[in-house]
Amino acid sequence: MKKSKTKQNIILLVLVIILVISPFFIVKNGTFSGSDDQGTEQIKKNDPSYKVWAHPLWTPPSGEVESLLFTVQGSLGTGIIAYVIGNARGKKKERERQLREHAEDVSTTQGH
């Protein structure tokens, strides 16, 4: 069982790496801009008179800082989601363990 899980994880890791790297080889001379930029361009193209009604409270000093903050935000979100899933799984396993122990106690008590 343990070996098959390790093999499965390695296969999944290789597939993720292929998915991440493949766009750089498939799309030659492509520009990879953010969806915010693409959305703004599309709005301006469709409605040149559009005026922005929401402005950021703070603008990062550089693109690198902005990327760092975006990465930290994503990492924190991933950590929170992983914690919630792990906590729920742990609680489920503990409930199952308690049910097994209770069933064992009942069967030993009835056997005497």
pLDDT in tens, 97-110: 999 999 888 888 77
Examine the pLDDT at 86 and tell me if it is beyond 80.
yes
Question: What is the mean pLDDT of the segment spanning 53-81?
Answer: 92
- What's the pTM? 0.53
pLDDT at position 32, please? 66
pLDDT at position 63, please? 85
Residue 85 burial (CB count, 10 A): 10
pLDDT at position 92, please? 95
Average pLDDT, the chain: 88
pLDDT at position 35, please? 75
